[in-house]
Structures are given as C-alpha cells and as structure tokens.
Amino acid sequence: MPAFFVTGTDTDIGKTTVAVALLQAAANQGHSTLGLKPIAAGCDMTAEGLRNADALALMAVSTSPKLIYEEINPIALPEACSPHIAARLANRRITIAQLSGYVRGSLSRRAHLTLVEGAGGWRVPLNDRELLSSLAKELNLPVILVVGLRLGCLNTAILTAEAILRDGLKLAGWVGNHLASDWPHAADNIATLTQLLPAPCLGILPWQPEASIVERSQALDLSALSLPVVN
C-alpha cells in the first residue's frame, strides 16, 4: 500500500498541518489512513507519558488501523530542539536502524495511505553520524515536500528537491502552505515553484489559521499519489 515520507523546506512551516490535511483528503475518498511521527522533540509530560502535539494530531486523523501512541511516535523527547541535541539531553542515542524498525512494524498494518512525517527539514542530524533523511532512504519511501510559502522559499524548495533526488528517492509531489496572510507576488512565486520543482503540486493551502481539517483537505488533489481504488 502507498506510503510516503513527509519533509519540509524548514522547521515550523506546516508539515503536520499538511500531513493531517492529506490524510483527511484520503479519508474523504474512503481510504484507510495512518500517520506516523517516528521521532518528535518538544514533547510534554502527561499522565500517560511524554506526548507530542504533532503526533497526537496525526493519531487523531488516522482512520485505520488504530495504533497506540507509542506506535505512532516511538521516540518522544522533551526538549524542543534538533533531534540529535534533544536525544543527547535525554541521555539517549537514536539510530536509523531503530527508527526504521519501528516504522516497518507500523507499515505492516497496510493502510491505503501511510504518511511518515520527519522532523525539521531534509538534512536534520539524528546523531553524530546519521541524518534523518537516511530514514526515508532506508525505507525507500517516495517523498512529499511541504513548502512554507514565504520570502526565500524558492531557494530552499529547489535545494531540498535536489537533495531528495540526489539521495536516489522519488519526489512524489509538493504542497505549498501559506505562512502569512500577505505574501507579495504570491501567484508569481507559486508559478515559479510549479515550473521548477520536478514533481506535481498536490495543492496550495491558503492562510486560514481557523480553517478546519476538512476545509484544508478540500484544497488538495491526491490523484498524483496513485492510491488504490476504493470499492
């Protein structure tokens, strides 16, 4: 069943917002969905243990199969910083082998659409030798790129796309996410991204902080992802 790795042009540009909307868009079409956040930094301590808002959002919108939190987010780190620093502060060493093992177990549930959300951008250190992008490489997952639409995004989007392709992975599509209500020359910039990024645009999310998940999902087109036919 189709599975994709979700990355972004930077941190805090809406990877989870887009991943949740993509999962909802698939569910709207009758697909079973699953969102995973293998490693999350910036988790809050609760009565149930460490919990991350992004992982909880993915868990809430996933339709099948239902997993416990630790299967959605097996590595939860309290400090909100780069994963390799957060792990060191928590006296833990996290490896790609560990993460890939967790993800493979969840992928065996065979949802119609599984999204594996990364952390930060594409080249994020996981430890002193490995980058988180190696998780996508290890799992051989096609990549969906979330582009935070703001000044400078042309450069970061093109560089990220080049890095993904250089790593031997398919760029399955990209989604633009408006980060402010007023972005000068927005239409021209989006047209440039559409022309230069070597993958189809799956949609552009407008600046609507109060929009519901269903409303955001309606801005997306999943046809390029070749999801299975639902009877």
Looking at the whole model, is its pTM more than 0.95?
yes
Task: Please write the tens of the pLDDT for every residue from 136-154.
Answer: 999 999 999 999 999 999 9
What residues form DSSP beta bridges with 220?
203
Q: What is the mean pLDDT of residues 185-202?
A: 98
Distance CA 224, CA 200 (A): 7
Point out the catalytic residue in the list 37, 66, 137, 170: 37
Indicate if the pLDDT at residue 186 is higher than 80: yes
What is the separation, in whole angstroms, between the first and last Cα of the chain? 15
pLDDT at position 139 is: 97
- CB-based contacts of 140: which residues, under 8 Å, 6+ apart? 169
Q: Which of 61-75, 165-179, 182-196, 198-212 has the lowest mean pLDDT?
A: 61-75
pLDDT one-digit tens code per residue, 82-120: 999 999 999 999 999 999 999 999 998 889 999 999 999
What does the radius of gyration of the chain's CA atoms come to, in whole angstroms? Answer: 17
Alpha helices for the chain (secondary structure H):
15-28, 53-61, 69-72, 83-89, 96-107, 133-139, 153-166, 186-196, 213-217
- Annotated active-site residue 37? The verdict is yes
Q: What is the pLDDT of residue 64?
A: 77
Determine the average pLDDT of the residues in 58-83. 93
- Looking at every residue in the chain, the average pLDDT score rounds to 96
The first and second tokens of residue 101, run together, are 């093992």
- Residue 13 phi, psi dihedral angles, 5° rounding: -115, 10
- Cα 184 to Cα 205: distance, rounded to the nearest angstrom: 16
Domains of the chain, CATH where assigned: 3-225 (3.40.50.300)
- Tell me the C-alpha distance between 93 and 83, whole Å: 10
Q: Give pLDDT tens digits for 155-180.
A: 999 999 999 999 999 999 999 999 99
| CA-to-CA dists, residue 228 to 42, 104, 151, angstroms | 35, 20, 37
